[in-house]
Structure 1
Amino acid sequence: MPHQKRRKDLRNIAIIAHVDHGKTTLVDALLRETHAHKFKEGDVTIMDSNPLERERGITIFSKNASLQYKDIRINIVDTPGHADFGSEVERILRMVDGVLLLVDAFEGPMPQTKFVLRKSLELHLKPILVVNKIDRPGSRPHEVVDLTFDLFCELNATDEQLDFPIVFTSAKEGKATLDLDEEAVDMKPLLETIIHRVLPPVADPELPFQMLVTMLDYDSYIGRISTGRVVHGSVKSGETIALVKRDGEIRRGRVTKILSYQGLRRIEAESGQAGDILSIAGLDDVKVGETLADAANPMALKTIKVDEPTISMNFSHNTSPFAGRDGGRFLTSRHIRERLEHEAMMNVGIKVEPTENGEAYKVSGRGELHLSILIETMRREGYELEVSRPQVILRTIDEEVVEPVEEVFVEVDEGYQGAVIQALGSRMAEMRSMQVSAIGTIRLEFLVASRALIGFRGEFLTMTRGTGIMYQNFYKYQPFKGEMPSRHVGVLISQQEGAAVAYALWGLQERGALFVRPGEDLYEGMIIGSTNKGQDMVVNAQREKKLTNIRAAGSDEAIQLVPVQDMTLEFALEFIDDDELVEVTPKHIRLRKKILNDSERRRSYKKS
């Protein structure tokens, strides 16, 4: 085997971690240390630029940063920590030669750590263990190192991968050390470890140009932008290159712009060479996993295998009586179709197919969070749409129907473990382990069919008084597990259009939980609450108190209403049943029956 050429002046690394272990804060610290970004007063988690990421405190979209240390450029990619964005993680890891595995010095390795680490070990990447938050009260760094070593063994890491360097950090304070007995001063120990332990990228500038497209972006000014790592050769602005499609078809186009990274900014470059992470504009019909190559010698690279979608939902334009009232700018099915096609083009984990009636589109993704992020993004962009209940995608393998099964990790206080075990037991869950964590909570691990988890998260939070923590990762497909218990509550359905009246709601609240407040506009067929009994009830929420000229003792008491259930998108998607829809507009999230009229609804039930 010929000796591989490597670029000594470059290192490409990804940061992988569980949600909320401090990935983005660590990148802040490295950018500050190397003066790669001008921070304003109060700037934190600078990589989480998307408003949804800031609100939820999680990384959803992977992003690149570049910094210069000594005479070496370090490209850093921040990856999502949530299993629903597995397709994103898988692609990003193809661009790098090493990973920083970030673990909380108090919590230790968590479920998502296992998921992302498994992906990186499969790609034979060398990890650097970063034990973060050593300044946190109750931190136990040495114990966490042992637990992480056990995790590596469990994931069948090679001897070379088990010989990982360890750096202890406090990203918040911008300090790192290789030895806890020595005082940490700055982030230099971590930067030195990256330079010495991450291999320089294999890169031969003499070979014909090849780049695997791992991310796509769109700019209304320069068109579609393909991002990836240049594997071989070099590329210049203005030259003609080839696009090798998945099916082997070759198209040619001219490079109109090359962008590279400086800190967090994209800057225009004249050229790029093997090892660089670049963004190239000029080719329009690009998809993730395809190869940009030398026009004279177009050779394809191995394409990316993406996790298959496990959940689907139907998206269609808003058909409620209130359509167009909430300031939505995109109201037609054509608008919805164009937006979903654009998303499927950029987001390799999403699949869009037309349905039989032609008005709705079946959108498949990796999980409820994956799809709810898309819905929330569309809502903020001014779309009005209605979505159906999430459905699990079943497959047939060797003439046997199989369904996706997830690993579920639950952490609860001791008093709630019985209720949680019972609730998951009724959903045919298989318990794999139970142990006491470092802080005295109970950690439970289950295998549960994805189908059984739809709607469980809200119930779980109620059951544990909001104190429970639950994570889930896709495990594998297993034989279909039969009928599952469905929603055990019925719903209160508005009888007519009009504003909700406090007096009417006061009379209804003893029947169950309300979703609407006095004064809110309602329409016929809209769901305004849940009933304690399993049946649906059509109710009059506009009924006013009859006024007479006789005063009766006790009849003029002040009306006291119980606080209503906040209508979040997650709650709505988990709550609805098969004959219901979630209406999503820029200002409101409402629940409704698919068939709004009561007598028509009853006729349709009889037919079915």
Structure 2
Amino acid sequence: MQSIRNIAIIAHVDHGKTTLVDKIIHASKLFRENQESGDLILDNNDLERERGITILSKNVSVVYNGVKINIIDTPGHADFGGEVERVLKMADGVLLLVDAFEGPMPQTRFVLSKALALGLTPIVVVNKVDKENCRPDEVHEQVFDLMFNLDATEEQLNFETIYGSSKNGWMSEDWQQPTDNITPLLDKIVEVIPEAPSPEGTPQFQVTSLDYSSFVGRIAIGRVYQGSIEEGKSMGLTKADGSMQRVRIKELQVFEGLGRKKVESVKAGDLCAIVGLDNFEIGDTLTDFENPQPLERLSIDEPTMNMLFTINNSPGFGSEGKFVTSRHLRDRLMKETEKNLALRVEPTDSEDKFLVYGRGILHLSVLIETMRREGYELMVGQPQVIYKEIDGQKCEPIETLVVDVPENVAGKVIELATQKKGELKIMEPKGDQQHLEFEIPSRGLIGLRNNVLTATGGEAVMNHRFLDYQPFKGEIKGRNNGSLISMENGPGTPYSIDKLQDRGVFFVPPGENLYTGQVIGEHSRENDLVVNVQKGKQLTNMRASGSDNNSKIAPPRVFSLEESMEYIQKDEYLEITPSSIRMRKIFLDEHTRMKMAKTL
């Protein structure tokens, strides 16, 4: 029987996981010599390619010297920790990839702590040793200290280290002696990672992720932990509530290269995909119906943030998207909860409003971006953190915030973070940068990135991860400036926008169609201001008609989706359609707004 190694690749964002997987795929000759493959082979969804991050975990399998290596590429963002936690259950070892200059980062710590707790064998790969001012030996020491702090066992602390550059396609046991291929890494995987055990006995298969095909429906993906499972066999599926249903396996597939191959049976230790199971959930166990032995269900960290999702009721609703009704919105959100374990959806007392709970702004924004690309129109409210009562005390989620910033602007970053109730824990030089670590409430992070990037001229590198729940830190002042709000419907004129430039910064260019109640800029003072930007110049005689074109208007300020989610206030919504993102007041009419403000 073929020997199997199951290995997950974990690393911080941008440290080169997906590039390394590309090189392993090329090294094992999965592509024909003349076949075009491109880069980032596994990041196959548009959003992943655009952002340069991995969002969904992927499986790929290569055969090296007669040994089958199943590789699981995992996301590096803590916001997608739900993905990471469940796929690590399928692995027997991990490749921990760290950048030779940056060293272990906060989100490396998050995923590594999960892997060590599961008892997985680590191999450390110090990547990008070809970079200038890299420090592989120091980074090796830092990884050891990190594992020690995470209570790694003696065996785990005695880890093997490989150095190299996945971009240039080489790995070596000594970083000063480059090779011309990555086989030293593959040899080390076969030598160090334990062979997947294949115990006999009652079959056990746990669903850890799912795929969907328009031909066969939902496909369960997971690992066979014990015994073997066969095509056409009748088995029992154990559910979350302890019940059990009889199911039949229509088709079995194992991973081969980038695709899957149909097989008749799968032995313990291998990963496989099963077609034909109905209404299964992630965490269910497939076992013998007469003599069931269910595995312990997957536990996932709780969400830390929620947002209100509602249908779009702005004046131009339905003109840009295909799916606009509350039924469309409900069905899409429920479908997402099936595969996105860290996401929860709760109905509210209104038919067309839903509370969506997630791991953070990025986690929720990826869902929103995916939905708008599919043709949905919706509105979302300001992100809110989730408070808990612990021992009779109100507690809130606290995060570790790490900022690397040029020395001359470190003071500004410390000032901004402390205004948001951040506590400076570590400050040390790192190359020509200053390395700062804070403990800060999750709600303090909302809107902080914009301010830090503005204050540092875009040179700060920020990362954060969830730490734990701590007692409430007190009120945090929100945005200092009010909004500029459109008074009328219709396109804004250059003449009016020019005349109002001293009142604040505009978010919309002249000529864009606006509606009453739309937020079109940031006021220079604390209060909101309703302005008329539709008014044209009164022409007294024909000679003056050309002067409208002489207006010198500053370019509008453009927000990304995450930035606008962090920017809006409690009384504002973000209107999201396939072609635009607009900010607006919840109550478009000024008199209604004033009345509601008095009742609050």
**TM-score greater than 0.5 by the shorter chain:** yes
Give yes or no for the alignment of 1:214 onto 2:211: no
The corresponding residue for 1:427 is 420
The corresponding residue for 1:265 is 259
Partner residue of 1:133 out of 121, 128, 134? 128
Please show how residues 153-232 of structure 1 align to structure 2 within 5 Å. 153-204=148-199, 206-232=200-226
The Cα offsets for residues 105-155 of structure 1, whole Å up to 9 and x where unpaired, read as 122211211111111111111110101112222222222212211222222
Deviation, structure 1 residue 316: 1.1
Normalised by the size of structure 2, how large is the TM-score?
Answer: 0.97
Hey, what's the Cα distance between the residues in 2 that align with 1:604 and 1:252? Answer: 55
Letter of the 2:233 partner, please give it.
E
Give yes or no for the alignment of 1:389 onto 2:382: yes
Letter of the 2:400 partner, please give it.
E
Partner residue of 1:348 out of 311, 321, 341? 341
Q: Percent same amino acid at aligned positions?
A: 48
Deviates most, 181-190 or 570-579? 181-190
Deviates most, 423-432 or 33-42? 33-42
Deviation, structure 1 residue 88: 1.1
Partner residue of 2:393 out of 377, 400, 407? 400
Please show how residues 546-557 of structure 1 align to structure 2 within 5 Å. 546-549=538-541
The corresponding residue for 1:586 is 578
Give yes or no for the alignment of 1:567 onto 2:562: no
Hey, what's the Cα distance between the residues in 2 that align with 1:38 and 1:462? Answer: 48
Deviates most, 333-342 or 126-135? 126-135
Please show how residues 518-537 of structure 1 align to structure 2 within 5 Å. 518-537=510-529
SS at 1:487 equivalent: coil
Letter of the 1:220 partner, please give it.
S
Number of equivalenced pairs: 599
Deviates most, 543-552 or 212-221? 543-552
Hey, what's the Cα distance between the residues in 1 that align with 2:154 and 2:578? Answer: 53
Letter of the 1:92 partner, please give it.
V
Hey, what's the Cα distance between the residues in 1 that align with 2:341 and 2:178? Answer: 45
The corresponding residue for 1:13 is 7
Please show how residues 14-413 of structure 1 align to structure 2 within 5 Å. 14-38=8-32, 40-41=35-36, 43-204=38-199, 206-326=200-320, 328-413=321-406
Hey, what's the Cα distance between the residues in 1 that align with 2:497 and 2:92? Answer: 61
SS at 1:225 equivalent: strand
Deviation, structure 1 residue 212: 1.3
Hey, what's the Cα distance between the residues in 1 that align with 2:546 and 2:83? Answer: 62
Deviation, structure 1 residue 557: 7.4
SS at 1:107 equivalent: coil
The Cα offsets for residues 145-169 of structure 1, whole Å up to 9 and x where unpaired, read as 1221122222222221111111112
The corresponding residue for 1:4 is none
Deviates most, 152-161 or 426-435? 152-161
Deviation, structure 1 residue 225: 1.2
The corresponding residue for 2:408 is 415
Hey, what's the Cα distance between the residues in 1 that align with 2:511 and 2:340? Answer: 40
Question: For the Cα contact (< 8 Å) 1:37–1:264, is it kept in 2?
Answer: no
Letter of the 2:514 partner, please give it.
L
Deviates most, 498-507 or 176-185? 176-185
Hey, what's the Cα distance between the residues in 1 that align with 2:219 and 2:542? Answer: 75
Give yes or no for the alignment of 1:453 onto 2:448: no
Question: For the Cα contact (< 8 Å) 2:204–2:227, is it kept in 1?
Answer: yes
Normalised by the size of structure 1, how large is the TM-score?
Answer: 0.96
Q: Per the alignment, do residues 556 and 505 of structure 1 end up closer, same or farther by CA in structure 2, a change over 3 Å counting?
A: closer
Hey, what's the Cα distance between the residues in 1 that align with 2:499 and 2:194? Answer: 70
Deviates most, 283-292 or 125-134? 283-292
Task: Give RMSD over aligned pairs.
Answer: 1.6
Deviation, structure 1 residue 553: 14
Partner residue of 1:602 out of 586, 594, 600? 594
Runs of 4+ residues over 6 Å off in structure 1: 552-557
Letter of the 1:421 partner, please give it.
I
Question: For the Cα contact (< 8 Å) 1:36–1:262, is it kept in 2?
Answer: no
SS at 1:476 equivalent: strand
Q: Per the alignment, do residues 419 and 554 of structure 1 end up closer, same or farther by CA in structure 2, a change over 3 Å counting?
A: farther
Letter of the 2:371 partner, please give it.
M
Question: For the Cα contact (< 8 Å) 1:407–1:475, is it kept in 2?
Answer: yes
Hey, what's the Cα distance between the residues in 1 that align with 2:574 and 2:353? Answer: 14
SS at 1:16 equivalent: strand
Deviation, structure 1 residue 177: 0.9
Letter of the 1:44 partner, please give it.
D
Letter of the 1:231 partner, please give it.
Y
Hey, what's the Cα distance between the residues in 1 that align with 2:176 and 2:544? Answer: 79
Give yes or no for the alignment of 1:491 onto 2:483: yes
The Cα offsets for residues 471-529 of structure 1, whole Å up to 9 and x where unpaired, read as 11000001112211111110011111101211111122221111111111111111101
Deviation, structure 1 residue 218: 2.1
Hey, what's the Cα distance between the residues in 1 that align with 2:21 and 2:542? Answer: 72
Deviation, structure 1 residue 551: 5.8
Q: Per the alignment, do residues 529 and 181 of structure 1 end up closer, same or farther by CA in structure 2, a change over 3 Å counting?
A: closer
Letter of the 2:334 partner, please give it.
E
Hey, what's the Cα distance between the residues in 1 that align with 2:31 and 2:241? Answer: 42
Hey, what's the Cα distance between the residues in 2 that align with 1:139 and 1:480? Answer: 41
Q: Per the alignment, do residues 541 and 13 of structure 1 end up closer, same or farther by CA in structure 2, a change over 3 Å counting?
A: same
Hey, what's the Cα distance between the residues in 2 that align with 1:259 and 1:304? Answer: 23
Question: For the Cα contact (< 8 Å) 2:2–2:68, is it kept in 1?
Answer: no
Question: For the Cα contact (< 8 Å) 1:214–1:288, is it kept in 2?
Answer: yes
Residue segments in structure 2 that go unaligned for 5+ positions in a row? none
Deviates most, 428-437 or 290-299? 290-299
Question: For the Cα contact (< 8 Å) 1:515–1:529, is it kept in 2?
Answer: yes
Deviates most, 470-479 or 228-237? 228-237
Letter of the 2:304 partner, please give it.
T
Residue segments in structure 1 that go unaligned for 5+ positions in a row? 1-6
Hey, what's the Cα distance between the residues in 1 that align with 2:284 and 2:391? Answer: 31
Hey, what's the Cα distance between the residues in 2 that align with 1:346 and 1:183? Answer: 42
Q: Per the alignment, do residues 38 and 502 of structure 1 end up closer, same or farther by CA in structure 2, a change over 3 Å counting?
A: farther
Q: Per the alignment, do residues 358 and 554 of structure 1 end up closer, same or farther by CA in structure 2, a change over 3 Å counting?
A: closer
Deviation, structure 1 residue 295: 2.4
Hey, what's the Cα distance between the residues in 2 that align with 1:545 and 1:32? Answer: 65
Deviation, structure 1 residue 48: 0.6
Hey, what's the Cα distance between the residues in 1 that align with 2:268 and 2:427? Answer: 49
Deviation, structure 1 residue 231: 0.3
The Cα offsets for residues 420-474 of structure 1, whole Å up to 9 and x where unpaired, read as 1111111111111001112x11110000111111111111111111111111100
